[in-house]
Amino acid sequence: MTTALAVPKYVPVVETADDCPAVRLSHVSKAFGRPGAGSVVLDDIDLDVAPGEFVTLLGASGCGKSTLLNLVAGLDEPSAGTIDVPGTRPSLMFQDHALFPWLSAGRNIELALRLAGVERERRRPEAERLLELVRLGGAYRKRVHELSGGMRQRVALARALAQGSTVLLMDEPFAALDAITRDVLHEEITRIWTERKLTVLFVTHNVREAVRLAQRVVLLSSRPGRIAREWRVDLPHALRGESAEVAALSTEITEHLRGEIRRHVQH
């Protein structure tokens, strides 16, 4: 059974001494343009993500989901409020794979390892290990044009993991893929999240994807983006797939999303 704001039954959380959040946003706002005359994209966002938690951010186009992710990644600064990500800088995976086409799959990953300070002699073995992790063993020498869309996203995921952070930010990474490939990668990211004990903040506009992956779904209102509602997902990932519970919760969330879109259009 799935219920709003219930306590999740499936929580592979990394225990910490002080139980502090892996990501904390306190009264975060973001506006673009001149002070007082700009466009407010995010308004007074309070959000804690626990260590080991998988949270999806859902909302209509333009509600500030990607902006919020960029703020957490440190690619931009909030106009107000604070963002705290203890430990290493988060890893970020984009919708586009952003691989360098003149490098092989392995060399793309090695570049991230080099930037992370990994010693030269350790880079290739680590790149090959990460390719094995994303089920692309033997693809070290393959160029980008030799890889399918799903394989490119697997390499991009391996490159993000090469950065060594336990916090992974994902900005609609599967949006451009066909339904079958996307479903396969849903299973893969769930497996890797569990094995690596990652904290994941995942942006999507796909309601079913949000429910399929997350322990918690956070709905943002349309501009300015505010947290409109949250849902806990109580169903173990192994039983989700096309289950009736996932369909029911997806329908409920879709209705709230449509309400936010209608409210924005009316204003």
- Average pLDDT over the chain, rounded to an integer: 86
When pLDDT is cut at 50, 70 and 90, the band that residue 88 belongs to is confident
> In terms of C-beta density within 10 A (0-12 exposed, 13-18 middle, 19 or more buried), how is residue 180 classed?
exposed
User: Within the chain, which residue ranges are assigned CATH 3.40.50.300?
Assistant: 8-90+166-239
Q: In angstroms, rounded to a whole number, what is the distance separating the alpha carbons of residues 16 and 187?
A: 27
What's the pLDDT tens digit per position in 99-139?
999 999 999 999 999 998 999 999 999 999 999 999 999 99
What are 168-217's pLDDT values in tens digits?
999 999 888 888 888 889 999 999 999 999 999 999 989 989 999 999 99
Helices (H), the chain: 65-73, 105-115, 120-133, 149-162, 179-196, 207-213, 244-266
According to the model, what pLDDT value does residue 61 have? 81
Tokens of 161: 């993991």
Residue 177 and residue 188: Cα distance in Å, rounded? Answer: 14
pLDDT of 4 above 80: no
Q: How does residue 239 score in pLDDT terms, banded at 50, 70 and 90? A: low
Distances (CA, A) of 160 to 11, 17, 98, 142, 194: 23, 27, 11, 18, 16
Entry pTM = 0.86
| Nearest CA among 183, 113, 114, 109 for reference residue 147 | 109
Q: Which of 87, 184, 192 is nearest to 129 (CA)?
A: 192
Q: Decide which of 3.40.50.10470, 3.90.1150.10, 3.40.50.720, 3.40.50.300 is the CATH code for 8-90+166-239.
A: 3.40.50.300
Q: Is the pLDDT of residue 13 over 60?
A: no
Using 50, 70 and 90 to split pLDDT, how confident is the model at 37? low
**Residues sharing a CB contact under 8 Å with residue 250, sequence separation 6 or more, in sequence order:** 207, 208, 211
CA atoms of 141 and 162, how far apart (whole Å):
17
- Following CA atoms 205, 90, 166, 26 in sequence, which dihedral angle do they give, to the nearest 10 degrees? -80
